[in-house]
Structure formats: structure tokens, C-alpha cells
């Protein structure tokens, strides 16, 4: 056995202890397995000291020795019952190939880490998509609230104009009533000659009083409607303000989702060892 291989064999336990995950080590010369150190749970029962290298074709150990290059492969649990990463490193002494050191490390912990990163990434994407939909709906609702508020204000303005017209009609009605009263007085003075005119004057006064009463009723209804519109408008303004606040919160959530998504991508990237 070469001095280099002997040194490696003497220090296999120290080398194994440097691995963070459960690892088994195998040391080969150019023809066979010369040393093997199983892991705590990761054990290869098929490996025995003296196993010919020719029986281990298609393994990283065989490929490292035949190609004189570092060979790495990752396999799932279907191969050895445990997912693992195998790395075989050619061993040289005086610039001459003398064998290979192979490590098979369990990736169960890494796989759980990777699965968690992928799950987190998927969850964040779903949440981000939902956030965008909610943001769009909230933005649309805010625009609708503004449109309704504008229409409400226009309606309130129109009602003020109607009240102005009613006030004018009320003034005319009062004046008409006075004119009718004056006409009745003048007709009374005219005695027999003014009898027909008295009837007309009384009708004018009745019409004026009826008009005034109708205007008062309409004005009362308009006042009630204005109060309701005012209350409605205040509610719309409050909802609109809440919508804008919700949009601001959604912006913050979206930013947070992006940051978590980046973290998940980084975790996934570094979990692929």
C-alpha cells in the first residue's frame, strides 16, 4: 500500500467527523476496496474489504479512477434506501494515481430543507398572486367609490338648485296671495260690480296657498333627502379612505412577499449541494 493511501486510511475517522451529515467513507487502490468506514445510519452492506473495483462499474469510485477526475453524483432513496451525494476524489502520490477516496453523504436533511424552500416559494407565489388580485379589486372599488361620491355631490348640487327654484316659487306664491287679497278688497269695495272678480280673486288666493303648501312639502322632502345624501357621502368618503389605506397596506405586503420569495429562492439555490 502506498504511503499516501496509508495516511488516509489512518485518518478516516477524522475525515468522517468533518462532514456535517451522516457519511460513510470508502478508500480504494487501483484494484480494490482497501478501507471502509460506515456512517451512523448510512451503511453499505454490499461493500467488503477486497471488493474488486471491476465489480463497482458505474460508481463514482470507478469513474474517478478511470477518468482521473473528481466525480460527483446525487441520487434519491431508490438506490440505497437513503438519498445521498457521492463524491470520489482521485488520490495521487508523487504525481502518480494510486487510488481514490469516496464519500457517500446522506442528503435527508438537505432534502427536507430543499422541500421547505420549494414549498415556501410556492406558497409565496400563491400569496403574491392573491395579493395582486385583491389589490386590483380594491383599486377598482376605490375608483368606484370616488365615482359614486362625485355623482352624490352632483346630485346634492342639483338639489340645492331645486331648492333655489322652490324658494323663488314660494316667493311668487306669497306675492300672488297678496295680490289675490288686494283684489278681494277692491272687489268688495266695488260691491255688486265686483262680485265676479271676487270669485276669481279667491281662486287665485287658493292657488297661491296650495302652491305654497306644496312647495313647503317638497322642500321638507328635499331637506330629508339632502341629509341622507350627506350621510351617504360621508360613508362613501370613509370607505374610499379605507380603500386607499388598504391599498397602501397591500403595497407593503407585496413588497414583503417579494422579499420572502427572494429568500426562498436563495434557500432553494443553496440547498442544491
pLDDT digits (tens, 9 = 90+) for 202-258: 666 666 677 677 767 777 777 777 777 777 777 777 777 777 777 677 677 677 767
- 161 vs 51 pLDDT, higher one: 51
Whether the pLDDT of residue 150 is over 90: the answer is: no
Strands 23-29 vs 33-37: parallel, antiparallel or unpaired: antiparallel
Q: Which of 73-77, 124-128, 194-198, 253-257 has the highest mean pLDDT?
A: 73-77
Q: What is the pLDDT of residue 271?
A: 57
For the chain, the domains span 3-106, 113-271
Q: Is the dihedral of CA 162, 168, 172, 175 positive or negative?
A: positive
Q: What is the pLDDT of residue 118?
A: 72
Whether the pLDDT of residue 101 is over 70: the answer is: yes
> What is the Cα–Cα distance from 119 to 121, expressed in whole angstroms?
5
Q: What is the pLDDT of residue 182?
A: 60
Write down the mean pLDDT value for the chain. Answer: 76
The yes-or-no answer to whether 3-106 and 113-271 have a common fold is no
Q: What is the pLDDT of residue 185?
A: 59
Q: Would you give the DSSP letter of residue 1?
A: -
Give bridge partners of residue 106 from the DSSP assignment. Answer: 84
- Domain 3-106 falls under CATH 3.30.450.40: yes
Whether the pLDDT of residue 37 is over 80: the answer is: yes
Q: Would you give the DSSP letter of residue 32?
A: B
Pick the CATH number of 113-271 from 1.10.10.10, 3.40.50.10800, 1.10.287.950, 3.20.20.330: 1.10.287.950
Residue 56 C-alpha from the chain's centroid: 51
Q: What is the pLDDT of residue 34?
A: 95
Contact yes or no for 64/102 (Cβ under 8 A):
yes
Q: What is the pLDDT of residue 187?
A: 57
Which run of H or E residues covers position 85? strand 84-93
Record the pTM. Answer: 0.48
> What is the Cα–Cα distance from 112 to 271, expressed in whole angstroms?
9
- Mean pLDDT, rounded, for 127-148: 68
3-state DSSP helix/strand/coil percent for the chain, to nearest 5?
70, 15, 15
Whether the pLDDT of residue 36 is over 70: the answer is: yes
Amino acid at each position: 500500500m502506498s504511503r499516501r493511501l496509508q495516511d488516509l486510511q489512518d485518518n478516516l475517522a477524522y475525515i468522517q467527523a468533518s462532514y456535517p451529515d451522516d457519511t460513510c467513507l470508502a478508500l480504494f487502490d487501483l484494484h480494490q476496496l482497501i478501507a471502509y468506514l460506515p456512517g451512523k445510519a448510512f451503511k453499505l452492506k454490499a461493500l467488503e474489504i477486497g471488493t474488486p473495483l471491476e465489480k463497482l462499474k458505474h460508481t463514482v469510485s470507478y469513474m474517478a479512477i478511470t477518468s482521473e477526475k473528481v466525480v460527483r453524483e446525487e441520487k434519491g432513496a431508490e438506490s440505497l434506501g437513503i438519498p445521498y451525494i457521492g463524491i470520489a476524489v482521485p488520490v495521487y502520490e508523487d504525481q502518480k494515481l494510486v487510488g481514490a477516496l469516496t464519500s457517500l453523504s446522506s442528503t435527508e436533511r438537505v432534502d427536507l430543507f430543499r422541500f421547505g424552500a420549494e414549498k415556501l416559494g410556492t406558497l409565496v407565489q400563491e400569496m403574491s398572486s392573491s395579493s395582486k388580485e385583491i389589490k386590483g379589486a380594491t383599486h377598482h372599488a376605490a375608483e368606484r367609490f370616488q365615482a359614486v361620491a362625485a355623482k352624490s355631490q352632483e346630485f346634492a348640487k342639483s338639489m340645492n338648485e331645486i331648492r333655489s327654484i322652490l324658494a323663488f316659487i314660494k316667493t311668487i306664491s306669497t306675492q300672488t296671495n297678496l295680490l289675490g287679497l288686494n283684489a278681494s278688497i277692491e272687489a268688495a269695495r266695488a260691491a255688486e260690480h265686483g262680485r265676479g272678480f271676487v270669485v276669481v280673486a279667491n281662486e287665485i288666493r287658493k292657488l297661491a296657498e296650495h302652491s305654497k303648501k306644496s312647495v313647503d312639502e317638497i322642500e321638507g322632502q328635499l331637506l330629508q333627502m339632502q341629509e341622507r345624501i350627506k350621510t351617504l357621502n360621508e360613508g362613501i368618503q370613509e370607505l374610499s379612505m379605507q380603500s386607499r389605506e388598504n391599498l397602501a397596506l397591500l403595497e407593503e405586503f407585496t413588497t414583503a412577499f417579494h422579499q420572502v420569495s427572494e429568500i426562498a429562492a436563495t434557500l432553494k439555490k443553496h440547498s442544491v449541494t
